[in-house]
């Protein structure tokens, strides 16, 4: 059952990237993240009420709560980096770097969670993922070549540090989240983490002075909300899968969202995929599937 939830997480995560890319064309990425988090929180709380897990709140241990909070902080940092990267770069370049968090996640899972099964199979898979990520992220496309690029997009590699930051914090999210939801129903754990992300995102809006730019174009707002709904669905699937399956297998399946993200970017955003990027994508998928063997 957890495999199905992991693939559901990948599908909705891929959709999130494209919806969010459209939503931040004319809206500050930090503000967009804060708005999306409200949507995700509402969706998470509704799921908690549906499954009736709110009664567990009174019985959460201090350690569980701490790990959920830390996971939420890591998620918030990852989101802020990711959507800034999306605002500056193309989906089919940003998404592979973000999804390379798999490399760190597997290492962290081996070191901190003791998940060392099938290591001889997973190491070649990690190598393929690393090479594939490098090919896609360095395909040489300049931002000005892409038609319909947002006004604040810049050529070169300005998006890269943000994408790398997103990957690092996403890896921390997976490990902290795995530990945090071990003793709590997954929907409730997701809701608690989302509260932390919500507070963090809006504090960033206030501290950065973006509260003076709270007006969002209706079209941007629509896609930001839709991306929030997709993220909520992805999270609910992801943390349910993490609760039932090993992190070193759940995370690789989730990272197949790159296939959906690239496909959506080709058909919806009309981004072009070079031969180099296509090869990189094939290596990414091959490496991910090798890790599932």
Percentage of the chain beyond pLDDT 70 is 89
Query: How would DSSP label each residue in 105-144?
Result: HHHHHHHHS---TTHHHHHHHHHHHHHHHHHHHTS---GG
pTM over 0.85: no
- For the chain, the residue count is 293
Q: Residue 21: name the closest of 165, 230, 259 by CA.
A: 230
Are the beta carbons of 2 and 181 closer than 8 angstroms? no
Q: Position of tokens 């039932």?
A: 244
Q: What is the mean pLDDT of residues 26-52?
A: 87
Query: What is the pLDDT at residue 212?
Result: 53
Percentage of the chain beyond pLDDT 90 is 14
pLDDT(27) > 90: no
Q: What is the mean pLDDT of residues 217-246?
A: 87
| Residue pLDDT, tens place only, 54-100 | 888 888 888 888 998 999 999 889 988 988 888 888 888 888 888 77
pLDDT(52) > 50: yes
DSSP, res 217: -
Q: How far is CA 270 from the centre of its chain?
A: 22
CA-based torsion, 151, 152, 154, 159: positive or negative: negative
Query: What is the pLDDT at residue 151?
Result: 43
Query: What is the pLDDT at residue 226?
Result: 94
CA distance 286 to 293: 11
Backbone angles phi, psi at 228, to 5 degrees: -65, -40
Query: What is the pLDDT at residue 209?
Result: 64
The region of weakest confidence among 81-90, 104-113, 117-126, 196-205 is 117-126
CA distance 166 to 68: 18
43: domain range? 2-292
CA distance 90 to 144: 11
Q: How many domains does the chain have?
A: 1
């Amino acid at each position: 059952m957890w495999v199905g939830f992991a693939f559901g997480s990948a599908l909705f995560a891929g959709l999130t990237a494209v919806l969010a890319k459209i939503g931040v064309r004319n809206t500050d990425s930090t503000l967009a993240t804060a708005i999306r988090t409200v949507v995700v929180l509402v969706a998470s709380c509704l799921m908690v009420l549906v499954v009736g897990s709110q009664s567990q709140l009174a019985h959460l241990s201090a350690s569980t709560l701490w790990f959920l909070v830390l996971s939420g902080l890591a998620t918030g940092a990852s989101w802020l980096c990711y959507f800034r990267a999306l605002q500056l770069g193309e989906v089919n370049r940003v998404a592979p770097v973000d999804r390379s968090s798999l490399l760190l996640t597997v290492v962290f899972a081996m070191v901190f969670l003791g998940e060392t099964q099938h290591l001889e199979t997973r190491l070649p898979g990690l190598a393929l993922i690393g090479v594939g990520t490098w090919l896609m992220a360095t395909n040489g496309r300049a931002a000005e070549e892409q038609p319909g690029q947002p006004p604040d997009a810049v050529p070169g590699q300005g998006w890269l540090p943000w994408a790398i930051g997103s990957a690092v914090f996403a890896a921390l999210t997976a490990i902290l989240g795995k530990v945090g939801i071990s003793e709590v129903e997954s929907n409730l754990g997701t809701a608690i983490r989302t509260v932390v992300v919500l507070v963090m995102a809006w504090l960033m809006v206030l501290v950065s002075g973006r509260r003076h730019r709270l007006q969002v174009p209706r079209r941007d707002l629509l896609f930001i909300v839709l991306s929030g709904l997709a993220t909520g669905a992805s999270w609910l699937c992801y943390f349910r899968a993490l609760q039932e399956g090993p992190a070193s297998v759940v995370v690789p399946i989730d990272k197949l969202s790159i296939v959906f993200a690239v496909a959506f970017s080709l058909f919806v955003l009309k981004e072009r995929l070079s031969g180099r990027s296509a090869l990189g994508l094939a290596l990414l998928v091959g490496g991910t599937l090798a890790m599932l063997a």
